[in-house]
Homo-oligomer: A and B are copies of this chain.
Amino acid sequence: MSIGKSIKRVDAFDKVTGRAQYTDDFQINNSLVAKIMHSTIANGRVKSIDISEAVKLKGVIKIITCFDVPDIKFPTAGHPYSLDPSHADIADRKLLNERVRYYGDDIAAVVAKDSVSAERAIKLIKVEYEEYKPLTSVEAALNESETPIHEEYPDNILAHTSYEIGDYEKAIQEENLIFFQGEYETSPVKHCHIENPISYAYAEGSRITVVSSTQIPHIARRVIGQALGIEWGKVKVIKPYIGGGFGNKQDVLYEPLNAYLSLAVGGRCVKLDISREEDFVSTRVRTAMKFKIETYVRPNGRFVARKLVLYGNKGAYASHGHSMVSKAGHAFKQTYNDEVATKADMYSVFTNLPASGAMRGYGIPQFAFAIESHIEDIAKELKIDSIEIRKINSMKLGFVDNQIKCNSNGLEECIEKGKKYVDWDNKIKEYKNQTGPVRKGVGMSIFSYATGVYPISLETAACRIVLNQDGSVQVQMGATEIGQGADTVFAQMVSEILDIPVEDVHMISTQDTDITPFDTGAYASRQSYVSGMAAKKAAIEVKEKILEHSNFMLKLPVGNLELKDKNIINKETGEILASLKEVATHALYNKETSVHITADVTNQCKSNTFSFGVCFVEVEVDIPIGKININKVINVHDCGKVLNPQMAAAQVHGGMSMSLGFGLSEQLLFDEKTGKPLNNNLLDYKLPSIMDTPHLEAQFVETFDVSGPFGNKALGEPPAIPVAPAIRNAVLNATGVKFNVTPITPQRLIEKFKEKKLI
């Protein structure tokens, strides 16, 4: 029995010793190297490119410009393909772009024998631009645009959707309602995975292979096919171990270009390694959002009517399209919802900033910052305890929104645990009437989070298991290990069903779309839930086949055997009748009926459920110097059954750290006039280091969600959600000052404290 145990990561040893092979470790003889030339304007058009000097450079093999590439626009979003064209991802991207939409857009590529030659060649390329006014904010894009960023969207609005639940106008007629409104804003931040995007491409026969650090090999295969205008079966994508993705590698951005460059040099292997500086601007960022929230509340704190207007800054390309903004907007009717009249308008707006795409939490960290700030402001105004007002209004068991059902709900217990950890009631009292330059406060926030993408998109996954002669198995998952520990959890699941040790479950970590069972990939906290069910089903099928062969071998009737501790036993008496190894060996080698026991099972998931969690923090704010110290911080999660406590805690630690940066220090900065990135490197971009990180406490409330393969539900993304708003609320409780824009940097603290006359 492995589920629920802190099994050591299956890849721990190889990762620690350096044996684990990442994309850059795949040594391919005589690889060429490609480098990309990026635009030095944010909005405009390439008029001409002069490569005459560059091509003369020794070592340069081929230069491809935006004028050479096929006139095919392709989608980059790592979403399942949809048979419904109206549900298809926006195809607005070419391999290289003559129409330049952000400072750093890809306009040419050099293939050379080495990276120095490639980089030198880029410096020799001369470009003439036609320049338009850079639109670096949503406001500018809506109001100051002369030439639309994408001609298909004349007003620069990628999408505007809205919904209304109940009768808002009627609901607000109720007497004695108190009206609140607030505006909240989040900034663009970056994933900062350790391994930058990297790929290799080379031809085999009439096909093209791309080895890439991607979260979504099967989707990458399809998008490469779309981008190059070739049949998808002509493309093979291999995903080795990857050094993090956090959603950034859920876009298929450079794999198609790499495939194209290889084909442009006769199928030779070409390596395309994106630098950190490029990654900051030329891949994806977390969507910056602006929220305007209005709430009518009864004096007891009960919400009656709510309204949201939300603008997301998409940046230059659609990437995941309206999805993040839509998800944020729809969350408005989830965590707090019960029979409340609700209205929402959501806008995704193109600007001349780097394209925003998926990032851990997919819109919810932004939304949670807004809503948890807003509810805190209401609580404060109404003098209701922060916990109390959330309990009154939050989601209850049985709630359903668009087929996402609250099958299990440990939120209140999570709150109890978090509350205890920070000694909430005492601290609230203790910190009530503080004066002086250094003040303390406690704050909290809650969230709910769906598991996977059903019913918005298709949820399909598959798993193949092969039984060895010694009773051990190989497991091939289309779902991908991206550092989160998926392989370990899948191994535990198979181990659990077959009742064999995890050491006997050999995970095939490298996906190869030619042979790896289909799965849409690692995103949306879907893997242990959707793909895990595929693993479970495949293991059950293998078990059935083992028992079937045991019946044959032992000449016993069906139904009386069980698999237990690597033995075939008499189900009733527990008597050992044969070892699993004997049966597995017999299956292959007996001359009467040789059978190669495998299972290859598709799981289509048609359910979804909510995870929950809270964050509690205690801060100490040094007002004169604008510094927030985190004294205590805890995340408590209800992710259903905890499959692996140690790894779950690690997942939470990583998410908390990400939310800490989001809340306090991280922001991609651009020159407002030119759109030029100002801090696209790890020195100037303030990712929290270990020195900035307090002890991160991770706790769990275990529920058993009936829809999860082992009672489990989402945990991948949720930890990144609640820390930032909890800090904001703790600062409010400590100082009385509302910080409604992330990150709450020393500069913003000082400015606001000065404004509020605290300094």
Q: Residues of A at under 8 Å CB distance from B?
A: 10-11, 13-14, 19, 25, 27-29, 80-83, 202-207, 222, 225, 231-234, 267, 458, 460, 462, 464, 466, 468-474, 476, 503-504, 506, 508, 514-515, 517-518, 585-586, 588-591, 593-596, 598, 600, 602, 604
Q: Which B-chain residue is minimally distant from A87 (CB atoms)?
A: B591
A600 in contact with B598 (CB, 8 Å): yes
B residues within 8 A CB of A207?
506
Assembled-state Cα–Cα distance A460/B232 (Å): 33
B residues within 8 A CB of A83?
585-586, 589-591
Q: Copies per complex?
A: 2
B517 in contact with A462 (CB, 8 Å): no
Given pairs A13-B205, A233-B473, A595-B602, 16 additional interface contacts (CB within 8 A):
A19-B203, A27-B29, A81-B469, A83-B590, A207-B506, A231-B472, A232-B469, A232-B470, A233-B506, A234-B470, A458-B591, A460-B588, A460-B596, A474-B514, A474-B515, A600-B600
Q: Which B-chain residue is minimally distant from A230 (CB atoms)?
A: B470
B residues within 8 A CB of A588?
81, 460, 518
B residues within 8 A CB of A504?
233
Residue of B10, B206, B233, B515 near A470 (CB, 8 A) is B233
B residues within 8 A CB of A472?
231, 233-234
Q: Which B-chain residue is minimally distant from A503 (CB atoms)?
A: B206
A546 to chain B, nearest CB (A): 14
* Most interface-central of A83, A225, A515, A602 (chain B CB within 10 A): A515
B residues within 8 A CB of A503?
206
Residue of B80, B202, B232, B594 near A604 (CB, 8 A) is B594
B residues within 8 A CB of A14?
204-205
A458 in contact with B233 (CB, 8 Å): no
For this complex, 20 residue pairs linking A to B, each with C-beta atoms less than 8 Å apart, are A13-B205, A19-B203, A19-B267, A27-B29, A81-B469, A83-B586, A205-B506, A231-B470, A231-B472, A232-B468, A233-B469, A233-B472, A234-B472, A458-B589, A464-B515, A464-B598, A508-B515, A515-B515, A595-B602, A596-B602
A589 in contact with B82 (CB, 8 Å): yes
B residues within 8 A CB of A593?
604
Assembled-state Cα–Cα distance A473/B590 (Å): 31
B468 in contact with A205 (CB, 8 Å): no
Q: Which B-chain residue is minimally distant from A10 (CB atoms)?
A: B205
A204 to chain B, nearest CB (A): 6
Residue of B80, B225, B514, B595 near A466 (CB, 8 A) is B514
Assembled-state Cα–Cα distance A749/B517 (Å): 63
B585 in contact with A205 (CB, 8 Å): no
Assembled-state Cα–Cα distance A282/B206 (Å): 40
B residues within 8 A CB of A476?
515
B residues within 8 A CB of A28?
27
B231 in contact with A596 (CB, 8 Å): no
Assembled-state Cα–Cα distance A80/B508 (Å): 26
A594 in contact with B233 (CB, 8 Å): no
A471 in contact with B508 (CB, 8 Å): no
Residue of B19, B471, B598 near A517 (CB, 8 A) is B598
Assembled-state Cα–Cα distance A585/B83 (Å): 8
A205 in contact with B11 (CB, 8 Å): yes
B residues within 8 A CB of A590?
83
B80 in contact with A589 (CB, 8 Å): yes
B residues within 8 A CB of A19?
202-204, 267
Assembled-state Cα–Cα distance A588/B471 (Å): 31
Q: Which B-chain residue is minimally distant from A13 (CB atoms)?
A: B205
A451 to chain B, nearest CB (A): 17
Residue of B222, B470, B474 near A469 (CB, 8 A) is B222
B residues within 8 A CB of A267?
19
A755 to chain B, nearest CB (A): 52
B residues within 8 A CB of A515?
464, 466, 474, 476, 508, 515
A503 to chain B, nearest CB (A): 7
B residues within 8 A CB of A471?
233
B residues within 8 A CB of A82?
589
A596 in contact with B589 (CB, 8 Å): no
B residues within 8 A CB of A474?
514-515
Assembled-state Cα–Cα distance A460/B594 (Å): 7
User: Can you list the 10 inter-chain pairs with the closest CB atoms, starting with the nearest?
Assistant: A233-B472, A233-B468, A27-B27, A460-B594, A231-B470, A233-B470, A596-B602, A594-B604, A518-B596, A462-B596
B506 in contact with A514 (CB, 8 Å): yes
B residues within 8 A CB of A506?
205, 207, 233, 514
A130 to chain B, nearest CB (A): 39
Assembled-state Cα–Cα distance A13/B206 (Å): 9
Assembled-state Cα–Cα distance A680/B595 (Å): 43
A508 in contact with B517 (CB, 8 Å): no
B residues within 8 A CB of A514?
466, 474, 506, 508
Assembled-state Cα–Cα distance A203/B20 (Å): 10
Assembled-state Cα–Cα distance A586/B29 (Å): 39
A29 to chain B, nearest CB (A): 6
